[in-house]
Amino acid sequence: DHNLIANNIIANNKGYGVLISNGRTEYAKGEDPNNPADDLEFGKTDYNTLRQNSIYGNGDWDYLAPSGFTDTSVHKGIRLKEHDGDEPNLGMPRPTITKAYSNVVNGTATVAGGGPCAGCVIEVFVADATTDYGEGQTFIGGTTTLSNGSFALPISGRPAGTIITATVTDSNGNTSEFARNVAVEATAGPSPSPAPSPPPPKPVPTDKLYLPLIRRS
């Protein structure tokens, strides 16, 4: 819990760019005194934050899955891997980009229960466009959502047809997977009202040390 990955280049891996997975411990039947009827025990991980990273060129090979298994390409950049229906990062849904004009990107964000993600951080990226969802290769900018979960991020200098994607991070630091890609249009949209700048990411608690697991392909 409470891990922060920021301002990194995460690229050209055989597997996912970033895999956030609930932990699993295997026991022989009856070995676990707290759960004698089962041979698996799951640990939950939430509040994992990704901010302003460049993620591209990654694959969909899952080293936690059976041999020969490959996941769908919607997860290449960021993968929130669930066990028994329990998803990490509180199951933070992807944001939805509803329109990408030449001057503004509009969209919405929700929490896992379906309500609006108010005051959440939206980050928009130029996608590497190898999938329908991300990956986010070039950071464009960020904004915060309004009380109804909507957002409008001013952009400039992006030619029509540029493919963009986005992530959302809630106030507790749970970051989503990448949004479905949308192409920037040639026409301009309504100028957005000013929105608060995104807050800096919450620091990792100082009483614990978290070291990343780095696997080279």
pLDDT digits (tens, 9 = 90+) for 72-82: 557 789 988 87
What is the residue-averaged pLDDT of the chain? 82
In the chain, the number of structural domains is 1
pLDDT of 189 higher than 80: yes
Q: Residue 200: pLDDT band by 50, 70, 90 thresholds?
A: confident
Q: Is the pLDDT of residue 42 over 50?
A: no
Average pLDDT over residues 22-43: 50
In order of 36, 50, 165, the CA distances from 106 in angstroms are: 50, 21, 11
Instruction: Return the pLDDT at 178.
Output: 96
68 assigned to some structural domain: yes
Top pLDDT among 103 and 69 is at: 103
In this prediction, residue 192 has a pLDDT band, given cuts at 50, 70 and 90, of confident
Structure confidence at residue 87 (pLDDT): 87
Contact predicate 111/175, CB 8 Å: no
**Structural domain of residue 156, as residue ranges?**
4-183
> Is residue 98 in some structural domain?
yes
- Mean pLDDT throughout 45-53? 94
Q: Is 148 helix (H, G, I), strand (E, B) or coil?
A: coil
Contact 180, 133 (CB under 8 A): yes
The Cα–Cα gap between 162 and 183 comes to 5
How many residues are present in the chain? 217
Cα separation of 4 and 202, whole Å? 8
pLDDT greater than 60 at residue 215: no
Which of 100, 93, 153 has the alpha carbon at shortest distance from 122? 153
Least confident range of 58-62, 93-97, 175-179: 58-62
Neighbours of 116 (CB within 10 A): 16
- Cβ-based neighbour number of residue 10 at 10 Å: 20
d(CA 71, CA 12): 16
Query: Which segment of 18-22, 43-47, 82-86 scores lowest on mean pLDDT?
Result: 82-86
Tens-digit pLDDT profile for residues 135-158: 999 999 999 999 999 999 999 999
Least confident piece of the model among 8-22, 58-72, 173-187 = 58-72
Q: Is the predicted pLDDT of residue 40 greater than 80, yes or no?
A: no
DSSP class of residue 75 equals: G
89 within a domain of the structure (yes/no): yes
Does the pLDDT of residue 208 top 90, yes or no? no
Higher pLDDT, 85 or 66: 85
The answer as to whether 208 is a domain residue is no
Q: Is 95 helix (H, G, I), strand (E, B) or coil?
A: coil
Q: Is 89 helix (H, G, I), strand (E, B) or coil?
A: helix
- Domain assignment present for residue 213? The answer is no
Tell me if 162 is assigned to some domain.
yes
Residue 192 placed within a domain: no
Q: What proportion of the chain, given as a percentage, has pLDDT over 70?
A: 76
Residue 199 belongs to some domain of the structure = no
CATH number at residue 165: 2.60.40.10
